[in-house]
Structure 1
Amino acid sequence: MKTADFDPVAYKAAQRRMWGGVAAGWEKWWPTIERTMGAVTERIAERAQVRPGHTVLDVATGIGEPALTVAPRVRPGGKVVATDQAPEMLDIARRRAAAAAAENVEFLEADAERLAFPSGAFDAVVCRFGLMFLPDVGRFLRRVHALLVPGGRFVTAVWDQPEHSPPDDLGVAIAMSMFGLPGPPPGAPTFYGLAGGVLEGEMARAGFRRIRAERVPADFEWPSIEICQQYLRDVIPFFATVAEQPPDRQAEFWRVHAAAARKFAGPDGTIRSRSTAICIVGVT
Protein backbone atom coordinates (compact mmCIF):
# COMPACT_ATOMS: atom_id res chain seq x y z
CA MET A 1 0.00 0.00 0.00
CA LYS A 2 1.39 3.42 -0.97
CA THR A 3 2.31 5.69 1.93
CA ALA A 4 0.67 9.12 1.80
CA ASP A 5 2.60 12.37 2.12
CA PHE A 6 2.97 13.58 5.69
CA ASP A 7 0.66 16.45 6.69
CA PRO A 8 1.68 17.76 10.13
CA VAL A 9 -1.54 19.74 10.62
CA ALA A 10 -3.76 16.74 9.92
CA TYR A 11 -1.45 14.55 11.99
CA LYS A 12 -1.75 16.76 15.07
CA ALA A 13 -5.52 16.99 14.70
CA ALA A 14 -5.69 13.19 14.53
CA GLN A 15 -3.43 12.88 17.58
CA ARG A 16 -5.71 15.21 19.52
CA ARG A 17 -8.76 13.09 18.65
CA MET A 18 -7.03 9.79 19.36
CA TRP A 19 -5.67 10.75 22.77
CA GLY A 20 -8.99 12.32 23.72
CA GLY A 21 -10.62 9.04 22.72
CA VAL A 22 -8.54 7.02 25.19
CA ALA A 23 -8.67 9.49 28.09
CA ALA A 24 -11.24 7.42 29.99
CA GLY A 25 -9.02 4.37 29.55
CA TRP A 26 -6.08 6.22 31.03
CA GLU A 27 -8.16 7.15 34.06
CA LYS A 28 -9.35 3.56 34.44
CA TRP A 29 -5.85 2.07 34.14
CA TRP A 30 -3.92 4.81 35.94
CA PRO A 31 -2.66 2.55 38.79
CA THR A 32 -1.28 0.08 36.24
CA ILE A 33 0.28 2.86 34.17
CA GLU A 34 1.99 4.42 37.17
CA ARG A 35 3.35 1.08 38.38
CA THR A 36 5.20 1.01 35.07
CA MET A 37 6.01 4.69 34.67
CA GLY A 38 6.33 5.83 38.28
CA ALA A 39 10.10 5.37 38.39
CA VAL A 40 10.44 7.44 35.22
CA THR A 41 8.23 10.19 36.67
CA GLU A 42 10.28 10.26 39.85
CA ARG A 43 13.54 10.46 37.94
CA ILE A 44 12.26 13.37 35.85
CA ALA A 45 11.25 15.22 39.02
CA GLU A 46 14.62 14.57 40.64
CA ARG A 47 16.68 15.67 37.65
CA ALA A 48 14.64 18.85 37.24
CA GLN A 49 16.15 19.96 40.58
CA VAL A 50 13.12 22.08 41.42
CA ARG A 51 12.72 23.74 44.79
CA PRO A 52 10.15 25.90 46.63
CA GLY A 53 9.25 29.01 44.68
CA HIS A 54 10.10 27.60 41.26
CA THR A 55 7.77 27.82 38.26
CA VAL A 56 7.68 24.65 36.17
CA LEU A 57 6.11 23.80 32.80
CA ASP A 58 4.90 20.26 32.10
CA VAL A 59 4.30 19.66 28.38
CA ALA A 60 1.99 16.85 27.19
CA THR A 61 0.87 16.19 30.75
CA GLY A 62 -1.92 13.78 29.78
CA ILE A 63 -3.92 13.19 32.95
CA GLY A 64 -1.42 15.03 35.10
CA GLU A 65 2.13 13.69 35.20
CA PRO A 66 4.80 14.67 35.99
CA ALA A 67 2.91 17.83 37.05
CA LEU A 68 1.31 16.31 40.15
CA THR A 69 4.59 14.74 41.26
CA VAL A 70 6.46 18.03 40.85
CA ALA A 71 3.80 20.26 42.45
CA PRO A 72 4.58 19.50 46.14
CA ARG A 73 8.29 20.10 45.51
CA VAL A 74 7.80 23.74 44.48
CA ARG A 75 5.60 24.64 47.45
CA PRO A 76 5.46 27.10 49.06
CA GLY A 77 5.47 29.88 46.55
CA GLY A 78 5.93 27.86 43.37
CA LYS A 79 3.57 26.61 40.69
CA VAL A 80 3.29 24.15 37.83
CA VAL A 81 1.70 24.97 34.48
CA ALA A 82 0.67 21.76 32.72
CA THR A 83 -0.36 21.67 29.06
CA ASP A 84 -1.87 19.10 26.74
CA GLN A 85 -3.68 19.27 23.42
CA ALA A 86 -6.45 16.84 24.48
CA PRO A 87 -9.13 18.54 26.63
CA GLU A 88 -10.50 15.15 27.70
CA MET A 89 -7.14 14.33 29.29
CA LEU A 90 -7.00 17.71 31.01
CA ASP A 91 -10.47 17.25 32.53
CA ILE A 92 -9.21 14.11 34.26
CA ALA A 93 -5.97 15.83 35.30
CA ARG A 94 -7.96 18.60 36.96
CA ARG A 95 -10.02 16.06 38.90
CA ARG A 96 -6.86 14.30 40.04
CA ALA A 97 -5.33 17.61 41.11
CA ALA A 98 -8.43 18.49 43.10
CA ALA A 99 -8.40 15.09 44.82
CA ALA A 100 -4.72 15.63 45.71
CA ALA A 101 -5.35 19.22 46.89
CA ALA A 102 -2.72 20.34 44.37
CA GLU A 103 -3.84 23.95 44.22
CA ASN A 104 -0.58 25.16 42.69
CA VAL A 105 -1.12 23.40 39.34
CA GLU A 106 -2.77 25.14 36.39
CA PHE A 107 -3.89 23.05 33.41
CA LEU A 108 -4.05 24.61 29.95
CA GLU A 109 -4.98 23.26 26.53
CA ALA A 110 -2.08 24.03 24.20
CA ASP A 111 -0.18 22.81 21.15
CA ALA A 112 3.29 21.78 22.34
CA GLU A 113 4.86 23.39 19.26
CA ARG A 114 3.11 26.73 19.89
CA LEU A 115 3.70 27.49 23.56
CA ALA A 116 2.61 31.11 24.13
CA PHE A 117 4.54 32.01 27.28
CA PRO A 118 7.06 34.83 27.87
CA SER A 119 10.74 34.11 27.44
CA GLY A 120 12.43 33.10 30.68
CA ALA A 121 9.09 32.24 32.32
CA PHE A 122 10.14 28.86 33.77
CA ASP A 123 12.84 27.48 36.02
CA ALA A 124 12.33 23.99 34.60
CA VAL A 125 10.40 22.30 31.79
CA VAL A 126 9.47 18.62 31.95
CA CYS A 127 7.85 16.22 29.50
CA ARG A 128 7.16 12.51 29.93
CA PHE A 129 6.72 10.46 26.74
CA GLY A 130 5.44 13.34 24.64
CA LEU A 131 8.30 14.37 22.36
CA MET A 132 8.15 11.33 20.08
CA PHE A 133 4.70 12.49 18.88
CA LEU A 134 5.85 15.97 17.77
CA PRO A 135 6.26 16.66 14.04
CA ASP A 136 9.01 19.26 14.62
CA VAL A 137 11.06 18.36 17.69
CA GLY A 138 13.76 20.90 16.85
CA ARG A 139 11.26 23.75 16.83
CA PHE A 140 9.85 22.60 20.16
CA LEU A 141 13.29 22.39 21.78
CA ARG A 142 14.29 25.85 20.59
CA ARG A 143 11.09 27.24 22.08
CA VAL A 144 11.67 25.42 25.38
CA HIS A 145 15.21 26.81 25.51
CA ALA A 146 13.78 30.33 25.17
CA LEU A 147 11.17 29.73 27.87
CA LEU A 148 13.76 28.73 30.47
CA VAL A 149 15.69 31.05 32.76
CA PRO A 150 19.49 31.02 32.36
CA GLY A 151 20.65 27.79 33.96
CA GLY A 152 17.14 26.33 33.71
CA ARG A 153 16.70 22.62 33.13
CA PHE A 154 14.73 20.67 30.55
CA VAL A 155 14.09 17.06 31.53
CA THR A 156 12.26 14.56 29.36
CA ALA A 157 11.74 10.85 28.86
CA VAL A 158 11.25 8.97 25.60
CA TRP A 159 11.13 5.26 24.88
CA ASP A 160 14.38 3.48 24.13
CA GLN A 161 14.61 0.92 21.33
CA PRO A 162 13.30 -2.22 23.08
CA GLU A 163 15.46 -5.33 23.07
CA HIS A 164 12.27 -7.39 23.08
CA SER A 165 8.98 -6.06 21.75
CA PRO A 166 6.38 -5.83 24.52
CA PRO A 167 2.81 -6.94 23.80
CA ASP A 168 1.67 -3.53 22.51
CA ASP A 169 4.49 -3.39 19.93
CA LEU A 170 3.72 -6.98 19.02
CA GLY A 171 0.09 -6.05 18.46
CA VAL A 172 0.99 -3.15 16.20
CA ALA A 173 3.17 -5.40 14.03
CA ILE A 174 0.46 -8.07 13.79
CA ALA A 175 -2.25 -5.55 12.91
CA MET A 176 -0.17 -3.85 10.23
CA SER A 177 0.55 -7.20 8.60
CA MET A 178 -2.94 -8.67 8.99
CA PHE A 179 -4.86 -5.61 7.81
CA GLY A 180 -2.35 -4.31 5.26
CA LEU A 181 -1.88 -1.00 7.05
CA PRO A 182 0.68 1.46 5.64
CA GLY A 183 3.75 2.48 7.57
CA PRO A 184 4.29 6.11 8.58
CA PRO A 185 5.10 8.46 5.69
CA PRO A 186 8.57 10.02 5.45
CA GLY A 187 8.89 12.85 7.95
CA ALA A 188 6.26 11.52 10.34
CA PRO A 189 7.14 11.00 14.01
CA THR A 190 7.77 7.41 15.06
CA PHE A 191 7.50 5.86 18.51
CA TYR A 192 11.21 5.10 18.89
CA GLY A 193 12.48 7.81 16.56
CA LEU A 194 14.25 9.83 19.27
CA ALA A 195 16.25 6.91 20.70
CA GLY A 196 19.84 6.06 19.83
CA GLY A 197 21.24 9.53 20.52
CA VAL A 198 18.83 11.36 18.19
CA LEU A 199 17.20 13.45 20.93
CA GLU A 200 20.54 14.36 22.51
CA GLY A 201 21.68 15.69 19.13
CA GLU A 202 18.50 17.72 18.69
CA MET A 203 18.91 19.22 22.16
CA ALA A 204 22.51 20.22 21.45
CA ARG A 205 21.45 21.92 18.21
CA ALA A 206 18.75 23.82 20.14
CA GLY A 207 21.40 25.27 22.44
CA PHE A 208 21.23 23.00 25.48
CA ARG A 209 24.45 22.09 27.25
CA ARG A 210 25.51 19.58 29.90
CA ILE A 211 23.21 17.05 28.24
CA ARG A 212 23.02 13.76 30.11
CA ALA A 213 21.01 10.63 29.32
CA GLU A 214 20.31 7.55 31.41
CA ARG A 215 18.17 4.47 30.99
CA VAL A 216 15.34 3.84 33.45
CA PRO A 217 13.49 0.48 33.59
CA ALA A 218 9.77 0.53 32.81
CA ASP A 219 8.37 -2.96 33.30
CA PHE A 220 4.83 -3.83 32.23
CA GLU A 221 2.82 -6.51 34.03
CA TRP A 222 -0.73 -7.80 33.61
CA PRO A 223 -2.35 -10.72 35.50
CA SER A 224 -3.45 -12.44 32.27
CA ILE A 225 -3.42 -12.11 28.50
CA GLU A 226 -7.11 -11.14 28.60
CA ILE A 227 -6.40 -8.23 30.95
CA CYS A 228 -3.39 -7.23 28.85
CA GLN A 229 -5.57 -7.08 25.75
CA GLN A 230 -8.24 -5.04 27.50
CA TYR A 231 -5.54 -2.60 28.58
CA LEU A 232 -4.36 -2.26 24.98
CA ARG A 233 -7.91 -1.62 23.77
CA ASP A 234 -8.51 1.04 26.42
CA VAL A 235 -5.17 2.87 26.55
CA ILE A 236 -3.30 2.67 23.22
CA PRO A 237 -4.85 4.81 20.44
CA PHE A 238 -3.50 2.56 17.67
CA PHE A 239 -5.84 -0.27 18.63
CA ALA A 240 -8.84 1.78 17.51
CA THR A 241 -7.67 0.61 14.08
CA VAL A 242 -8.48 -2.95 15.10
CA ALA A 243 -11.92 -1.88 16.34
CA GLU A 244 -12.67 -0.54 12.84
CA GLN A 245 -12.32 -4.02 11.32
CA PRO A 246 -15.26 -6.44 10.84
CA PRO A 247 -16.03 -8.45 14.01
CA ASP A 248 -14.62 -11.70 12.65
CA ARG A 249 -11.34 -10.00 11.71
CA GLN A 250 -11.13 -8.38 15.14
CA ALA A 251 -11.59 -11.76 16.81
CA GLU A 252 -8.94 -13.28 14.55
CA PHE A 253 -6.49 -10.50 15.41
CA TRP A 254 -6.89 -10.92 19.16
CA ARG A 255 -6.48 -14.72 18.85
CA VAL A 256 -3.25 -14.28 16.90
CA HIS A 257 -2.05 -11.64 19.35
CA ALA A 258 -2.81 -13.88 22.35
CA ALA A 259 -0.86 -16.77 20.85
CA ALA A 260 2.15 -14.55 20.10
CA ALA A 261 2.07 -12.77 23.47
CA ARG A 262 2.21 -16.00 25.46
CA LYS A 263 6.00 -15.89 25.20
CA PHE A 264 5.77 -13.11 27.82
CA ALA A 265 3.66 -15.27 30.17
CA GLY A 266 4.95 -16.81 33.39
CA PRO A 267 3.79 -20.14 34.88
CA ASP A 268 0.87 -18.37 36.59
CA GLY A 269 -0.25 -16.70 33.35
CA THR A 270 1.02 -13.26 34.31
CA ILE A 271 2.21 -11.28 31.28
CA ARG A 272 5.50 -9.49 31.95
CA SER A 273 7.60 -7.45 29.59
CA ARG A 274 10.54 -5.17 30.13
CA SER A 275 10.84 -1.82 28.42
CA THR A 276 13.36 0.94 28.93
CA ALA A 277 12.93 4.69 28.96
CA ILE A 278 15.67 7.21 28.24
CA CYS A 279 15.63 10.12 30.71
CA ILE A 280 17.51 13.12 29.34
CA VAL A 281 18.39 16.47 30.94
CA GLY A 282 19.82 19.60 29.35
CA VAL A 283 20.68 22.99 30.82
CA THR A 284 20.36 26.43 29.21
Structure 2
Amino acid sequence: MPSADEIRDAQRARWAGLSASWEKWDSVIMDQLGPVGAAIIERLDIAEDHQHLDIAAGTGEPGLSIARLLPKGRVVLTDLVAEMLEIATRRARAQGIANIETKVCSADDLPFHDATFDSVSVRFGYMFFPDVAKATAEFARVLKPGGRLCSSVWVKPEENPWTAIAMQAIATEAVVAPPDPNGPTMFRCAAPGYVSALYEGAGLRDVDEWDVDIELVTRSPEEYWAMISEHVSLAAAALQQVDGPARERIRAAAIAKVTAFERDGMIRVPGVARCIVGTKQDASGTR
Protein backbone atom coordinates (compact mmCIF):
# COMPACT_ATOMS: atom_id res chain seq x y z
CA MET A 1 0.00 0.00 0.00
CA PRO A 2 1.41 3.46 -0.90
CA SER A 3 2.49 5.77 1.89
CA ALA A 4 0.62 8.97 2.75
CA ASP A 5 3.32 11.02 1.02
CA GLU A 6 3.06 8.89 -2.12
CA ILE A 7 -0.72 9.29 -2.12
CA ARG A 8 -0.41 13.05 -1.76
CA ASP A 9 2.18 13.26 -4.54
CA ALA A 10 -0.10 11.34 -6.88
CA GLN A 11 -3.10 13.47 -5.94
CA ARG A 12 -1.12 16.67 -6.42
CA ALA A 13 -0.10 15.63 -9.94
CA ARG A 14 -3.58 14.39 -10.86
CA TRP A 15 -5.45 17.48 -9.67
CA ALA A 16 -2.90 19.86 -11.12
CA GLY A 17 -3.51 18.19 -14.46
CA LEU A 18 -7.27 18.64 -14.06
CA SER A 19 -7.16 22.25 -12.91
CA ALA A 20 -7.67 23.73 -16.39
CA SER A 21 -10.77 21.57 -16.88
CA TRP A 22 -12.17 22.70 -13.51
CA GLU A 23 -11.74 26.30 -14.60
CA LYS A 24 -13.30 25.56 -18.01
CA TRP A 25 -16.40 24.01 -16.43
CA ASP A 26 -16.51 26.37 -13.45
CA SER A 27 -20.03 27.71 -13.94
CA VAL A 28 -21.56 24.23 -14.37
CA ILE A 29 -19.70 22.84 -11.36
CA MET A 30 -20.61 25.81 -9.16
CA ASP A 31 -24.29 25.48 -10.05
CA GLN A 32 -24.21 21.75 -9.32
CA LEU A 33 -22.48 22.06 -5.94
CA GLY A 34 -24.06 25.35 -4.89
CA PRO A 35 -26.75 23.76 -2.66
CA VAL A 36 -24.05 21.96 -0.68
CA GLY A 37 -22.06 25.14 -0.13
CA ALA A 38 -25.22 26.92 0.99
CA ALA A 39 -26.04 24.11 3.43
CA ILE A 40 -22.54 24.28 4.91
CA ILE A 41 -22.68 28.06 5.31
CA GLU A 42 -26.09 27.90 6.97
CA ARG A 43 -24.73 25.74 9.81
CA LEU A 44 -21.42 27.54 10.45
CA ASP A 45 -22.94 30.38 12.51
CA ILE A 46 -20.79 32.96 10.71
CA ALA A 47 -20.33 36.49 12.07
CA GLU A 48 -18.96 39.43 10.07
CA ASP A 49 -15.62 39.54 11.90
CA HIS A 50 -14.89 35.81 11.90
CA GLN A 51 -11.71 34.09 10.78
CA HIS A 52 -12.63 31.16 8.54
CA LEU A 53 -10.60 28.26 7.12
CA ASP A 54 -11.68 26.48 3.94
CA ILE A 55 -9.93 23.10 3.55
CA ALA A 56 -9.46 21.45 0.12
CA ALA A 57 -10.80 24.70 -1.30
CA GLY A 58 -9.99 23.83 -4.90
CA THR A 59 -11.24 26.66 -7.10
CA GLY A 60 -12.61 28.57 -4.12
CA GLU A 61 -16.00 27.44 -2.87
CA PRO A 62 -17.54 27.72 -0.38
CA GLY A 63 -14.70 29.93 0.87
CA LEU A 64 -15.36 32.82 -1.53
CA SER A 65 -19.06 32.88 -0.66
CA ILE A 66 -18.13 32.90 3.02
CA ALA A 67 -15.70 35.78 2.46
CA ARG A 68 -18.59 37.93 1.24
CA LEU A 69 -20.24 37.42 4.63
CA LEU A 70 -17.12 38.57 6.52
CA PRO A 71 -16.60 42.27 5.75
CA LYS A 72 -14.51 42.60 8.92
CA GLY A 73 -13.00 39.11 8.82
CA ARG A 74 -10.94 36.93 6.51
CA VAL A 75 -10.96 33.54 4.84
CA VAL A 76 -7.93 31.33 4.33
CA LEU A 77 -8.25 28.91 1.40
CA THR A 78 -6.02 25.84 1.58
CA ASP A 79 -5.45 23.07 -0.91
CA LEU A 80 -2.81 20.50 -1.77
CA VAL A 81 -2.63 21.85 -5.33
CA ALA A 82 -1.23 25.30 -6.12
CA GLU A 83 -2.86 25.35 -9.57
CA MET A 84 -6.33 25.03 -8.02
CA LEU A 85 -5.70 27.89 -5.61
CA GLU A 86 -4.47 30.05 -8.48
CA ILE A 87 -7.91 29.62 -10.04
CA ALA A 88 -9.53 30.54 -6.71
CA THR A 89 -7.43 33.69 -6.61
CA ARG A 90 -8.51 34.65 -10.13
CA ARG A 91 -12.15 34.01 -9.24
CA ALA A 92 -11.84 36.15 -6.10
CA ARG A 93 -10.27 38.99 -8.10
CA ALA A 94 -13.00 38.82 -10.73
CA GLN A 95 -15.66 38.98 -8.01
CA GLY A 96 -14.00 41.83 -6.13
CA ILE A 97 -13.29 39.71 -3.04
CA ALA A 98 -10.18 40.95 -1.24
CA ASN A 99 -10.40 39.44 2.27
CA ILE A 100 -8.93 36.06 1.33
CA GLU A 101 -5.52 34.46 1.30
CA THR A 102 -4.37 31.09 0.03
CA LYS A 103 -2.03 28.47 1.45
CA VAL A 104 -0.78 25.31 -0.24
CA CYS A 105 -0.66 22.61 2.44
CA SER A 106 -1.82 19.14 3.42
CA ALA A 107 -5.03 18.83 5.41
CA ASP A 108 -3.37 16.69 8.06
CA ASP A 109 -0.50 19.12 8.71
CA LEU A 110 -1.94 22.62 8.88
CA PRO A 111 0.52 25.53 9.27
CA PHE A 112 -1.68 27.42 11.75
CA HIS A 113 -1.61 27.95 15.50
CA ASP A 114 -4.11 26.29 17.82
CA ALA A 115 -7.52 27.99 18.10
CA THR A 116 -6.95 30.32 15.12
CA PHE A 117 -10.29 30.03 13.31
CA ASP A 118 -13.92 30.59 14.25
CA SER A 119 -15.11 28.05 11.67
CA VAL A 120 -13.79 25.46 9.23
CA SER A 121 -15.37 24.10 6.04
CA VAL A 122 -14.39 21.02 4.02
CA ARG A 123 -16.52 20.63 0.89
CA PHE A 124 -15.76 17.27 -0.79
CA GLY A 125 -12.23 16.92 0.48
CA TYR A 126 -12.62 14.33 3.23
CA MET A 127 -12.77 11.34 0.90
CA PHE A 128 -9.28 12.00 -0.44
CA PHE A 129 -7.27 12.57 2.75
CA PRO A 130 -4.74 9.76 3.32
CA ASP A 131 -5.41 9.84 7.09
CA VAL A 132 -8.91 11.11 7.80
CA ALA A 133 -8.59 10.86 11.58
CA LYS A 134 -5.36 12.86 11.62
CA ALA A 135 -6.90 15.49 9.37
CA THR A 136 -9.97 15.79 11.59
CA ALA A 137 -7.76 16.23 14.64
CA GLU A 138 -6.01 19.08 12.82
CA PHE A 139 -9.33 20.77 11.99
CA ALA A 140 -10.36 20.56 15.64
CA ARG A 141 -6.97 21.85 16.78
CA VAL A 142 -7.12 25.06 14.74
CA LEU A 143 -10.75 25.75 15.71
CA LYS A 144 -11.46 28.20 18.50
CA PRO A 145 -13.54 26.87 21.42
CA GLY A 146 -17.16 27.08 20.38
CA GLY A 147 -16.19 27.06 16.70
CA ARG A 148 -17.89 24.83 14.15
CA LEU A 149 -16.58 22.39 11.56
CA CYS A 150 -18.87 21.59 8.63
CA SER A 151 -18.00 19.24 5.78
CA SER A 152 -19.63 17.37 2.93
CA VAL A 153 -19.07 13.99 1.28
CA TRP A 154 -20.81 11.98 -1.41
CA VAL A 155 -23.25 9.25 -0.49
CA LYS A 156 -23.31 5.90 -2.32
CA PRO A 157 -22.90 5.72 -6.13
CA GLU A 158 -26.46 4.50 -6.70
CA GLU A 159 -27.74 7.84 -5.48
CA ASN A 160 -25.33 9.77 -7.69
CA PRO A 161 -26.13 8.78 -11.28
CA TRP A 162 -24.41 11.96 -12.50
CA THR A 163 -21.10 10.14 -11.98
CA ALA A 164 -22.28 6.50 -11.97
CA ILE A 165 -23.50 6.72 -15.59
CA ALA A 166 -20.03 7.70 -16.79
CA MET A 167 -18.22 5.12 -14.70
CA GLN A 168 -20.55 2.31 -15.79
CA ALA A 169 -19.91 3.21 -19.43
CA ILE A 170 -16.16 3.26 -18.82
CA ALA A 171 -16.32 -0.15 -17.14
CA THR A 172 -17.60 -1.71 -20.37
CA GLU A 173 -14.24 -1.02 -22.03
CA ALA A 174 -11.67 -0.50 -19.28
CA VAL A 175 -10.67 -2.43 -16.19
CA VAL A 176 -11.69 -0.28 -13.24
CA ALA A 177 -10.10 -1.72 -10.10
CA PRO A 178 -12.38 -1.98 -7.07
CA PRO A 179 -11.63 0.86 -4.67
CA ASP A 180 -9.69 0.26 -1.49
CA PRO A 181 -12.37 0.75 1.22
CA ASN A 182 -9.80 2.43 3.44
CA GLY A 183 -8.05 4.43 0.73
CA PRO A 184 -8.84 7.79 -0.87
CA THR A 185 -11.81 7.36 -3.22
CA MET A 186 -14.86 9.43 -4.08
CA PHE A 187 -17.32 7.30 -2.07
CA ARG A 188 -15.04 6.33 0.80
CA CYS A 189 -17.07 8.35 3.35
CA ALA A 190 -20.52 7.38 2.05
CA ALA A 191 -21.67 5.32 5.03
CA PRO A 192 -23.97 7.16 7.45
CA GLY A 193 -22.09 8.10 10.59
CA TYR A 194 -18.62 7.68 9.07
CA VAL A 195 -17.57 11.33 9.33
CA SER A 196 -19.62 11.88 12.49
CA ALA A 197 -17.49 9.25 14.23
CA LEU A 198 -14.33 11.09 13.12
CA TYR A 199 -15.71 14.32 14.56
CA GLU A 200 -16.51 12.69 17.88
CA GLY A 201 -13.10 11.04 17.96
CA ALA A 202 -11.55 14.50 17.62
CA GLY A 203 -13.57 15.79 20.57
CA LEU A 204 -16.29 17.65 18.68
CA ARG A 205 -19.79 17.68 20.12
CA ASP A 206 -23.36 18.37 18.96
CA VAL A 207 -22.54 16.43 15.82
CA ASP A 208 -25.30 16.29 13.22
CA GLU A 209 -25.50 15.05 9.64
CA TRP A 210 -28.07 15.44 6.90
CA ASP A 211 -28.42 14.83 3.17
CA VAL A 212 -28.53 17.51 0.47
CA ASP A 213 -29.89 16.97 -3.03
CA ILE A 214 -27.92 18.32 -5.98
CA GLU A 215 -28.45 18.34 -9.74
CA LEU A 216 -25.96 18.44 -12.59
CA VAL A 217 -27.49 20.49 -15.41
CA THR A 218 -26.01 20.56 -18.91
CA ARG A 219 -27.36 21.77 -22.23
CA SER A 220 -27.07 18.39 -23.95
CA PRO A 221 -25.98 14.78 -23.44
CA GLU A 222 -22.80 15.62 -25.34
CA GLU A 223 -22.01 18.47 -22.96
CA TYR A 224 -22.65 16.15 -20.00
CA TRP A 225 -20.05 13.72 -21.29
CA ALA A 226 -17.49 16.39 -22.11
CA MET A 227 -17.81 17.90 -18.66
CA ILE A 228 -17.63 14.62 -16.73
CA SER A 229 -14.83 13.10 -18.79
CA GLU A 230 -12.67 16.21 -18.44
CA HIS A 231 -12.99 17.08 -14.76
CA VAL A 232 -13.93 13.96 -12.73
CA SER A 233 -10.58 12.52 -11.67
CA LEU A 234 -11.61 8.84 -11.68
CA ALA A 235 -13.17 9.09 -15.14
CA ALA A 236 -10.25 11.01 -16.61
CA ALA A 237 -7.75 8.49 -15.24
CA ALA A 238 -9.72 5.48 -16.51
CA LEU A 239 -10.10 6.95 -20.00
CA GLN A 240 -6.33 7.16 -20.33
CA GLN A 241 -6.24 3.34 -20.29
CA VAL A 242 -8.18 2.90 -23.54
CA ASP A 243 -7.61 3.76 -27.20
CA GLY A 244 -9.57 6.16 -29.37
CA PRO A 245 -12.23 3.74 -30.65
CA ALA A 246 -12.92 2.49 -27.11
CA ARG A 247 -13.25 6.06 -25.84
CA GLU A 248 -15.77 6.75 -28.57
CA ARG A 249 -17.80 3.65 -27.61
CA ILE A 250 -17.72 4.74 -23.97
CA ARG A 251 -18.84 8.23 -24.94
CA ALA A 252 -21.73 6.85 -27.00
CA ALA A 253 -22.87 4.58 -24.17
CA ALA A 254 -22.82 7.38 -21.61
CA ILE A 255 -24.66 9.77 -23.91
CA ALA A 256 -27.34 7.17 -24.64
CA LYS A 257 -27.87 6.52 -20.92
CA VAL A 258 -27.94 10.13 -19.78
CA THR A 259 -30.52 11.06 -22.42
CA ALA A 260 -33.13 9.57 -20.06
CA PHE A 261 -32.56 12.57 -17.77
CA GLU A 262 -33.60 15.16 -20.36
CA ARG A 263 -36.25 17.60 -19.12
CA ASP A 264 -37.30 20.94 -20.55
CA GLY A 265 -34.56 20.79 -23.15
CA MET A 266 -31.78 20.29 -20.59
CA ILE A 267 -30.02 17.27 -19.09
CA ARG A 268 -30.71 17.20 -15.34
CA VAL A 269 -28.93 14.39 -13.48
CA PRO A 270 -29.54 14.13 -9.72
CA GLY A 271 -27.19 13.35 -6.88
CA VAL A 272 -27.01 13.35 -3.10
CA ALA A 273 -24.34 14.66 -0.74
CA ARG A 274 -24.13 14.38 3.04
CA CYS A 275 -23.21 17.33 5.25
CA ILE A 276 -21.79 16.95 8.76
CA VAL A 277 -21.43 19.65 11.41
CA GLY A 278 -19.83 19.61 14.86
CA THR A 279 -18.78 22.10 17.54
CA LYS A 280 -15.57 22.36 19.53
CA GLN A 281 -16.09 22.51 23.28
CA ASP A 282 -14.88 25.54 25.19
CA ALA A 283 -12.49 25.26 28.11
CA SER A 284 -15.28 24.54 30.56
CA GLY A 285 -16.49 21.60 28.49
CA THR A 286 -19.63 23.38 27.30
CA ARG A 287 -20.51 24.36 23.75
Same fold (TM over 0.5): yes
Q: How many Å separate the matches in 2 of 1:165 and 1:101?
A: 34
- Kept in 1, the 8 Å contact 2:158–2:164? The answer is no
The aligned length equals 278
Q: Residues 160, 182 of structure 1: CA spacing in aligned structure 2 closer, same or farther, 3 A cutoff?
A: closer
Identity %: 32
Q: Please tell me whether residue 74 in structure 1 is matched to residue 80 in structure 2.
A: no
| Aligned twin of 1:125 | 120
Q: Please tell me whether residue 232 in structure 1 is matched to residue 224 in structure 2.
A: no
- Kept in 2, the 8 Å contact 1:6–1:186? The answer is no
Q: Please tell me whether residue 211 in structure 1 is matched to residue 207 in structure 2.
A: yes
Q: CA deviation at 1:162?
A: 4.8
Give unpaired runs (5+ residues) of structure 2: 281-287
Q: CA deviation at 1:35?
A: 1.4
Q: How many Å separate the matches in 2 of 1:102 and 1:265?
A: 36
CA distances 1:105-129 after superposition (whole Å, capped 9, x unpaired): 0011111111121001111111111
Q: CA deviation at 1:230?
A: 0.7
What RMSD in Å do the two structures reach over aligned CA positions? 1.7
Q: CA deviation at 1:45?
A: 1.5
Alignment of 1:185-264 (within 5 A): 185=180, 187-195=182-190, 196-240=192-236, 241-264=238-261
Q: How many Å separate the matches in 1 of 2:244 and 2:205?
A: 52
Q: CA deviation at 1:262?
A: 2.9
Q: Residues 93, 86 of structure 1: CA spacing in aligned structure 2 closer, same or farther, 3 A cutoff?
A: same
Q: CA deviation at 1:244?
A: 4.2
Q: CA deviation at 1:184?
A: 2.4
Aligned match of 1:50 in 36, 46, 51? 46
Aligned residue for 1:253, secondary structure, equals helix
- Kept in 2, the 8 Å contact 1:6–1:188? The answer is no
Aligned residue for 1:194, secondary structure, equals coil
In structure 2, what residue type is equivalent to 1:44? I
Q: CA deviation at 1:72?
A: 1.9
Q: Please tell me whether residue 137 in structure 1 is matched to residue 132 in structure 2.
A: yes
Q: CA deviation at 1:256?
A: 2.2
- Kept in 2, the 8 Å contact 1:60–1:127? The answer is yes
Q: Residues 142, 258 of structure 1: CA spacing in aligned structure 2 closer, same or farther, 3 A cutoff?
A: same
Q: CA deviation at 1:6?
A: 4.3
Aligned match of 2:145 in 135, 150, 164? 150
- Kept in 2, the 8 Å contact 1:138–1:202? The answer is yes
- Kept in 2, the 8 Å contact 1:48–1:124? The answer is yes
- Kept in 2, the 8 Å contact 1:132–1:193? The answer is yes
Segment drifting more, 127-136 vs 168-177: 168-177
- Kept in 2, the 8 Å contact 1:62–1:93? The answer is yes
Q: CA deviation at 1:202?
A: 1.3
Instruction: Report the TM-score, using the length of structure 1 for normalisation.
Output: 0.92
Q: How many Å separate the matches in 2 of 1:217 and 1:185?
A: 26
Instruction: Report the TM-score, using the length of structure 2 for normalisation.
Output: 0.91
Q: Residues 165, 38 of structure 1: CA spacing in aligned structure 2 closer, same or farther, 3 A cutoff?
A: closer
Q: CA deviation at 1:186?
A: 5.1
Give unpaired runs (5+ residues) of structure 1: none
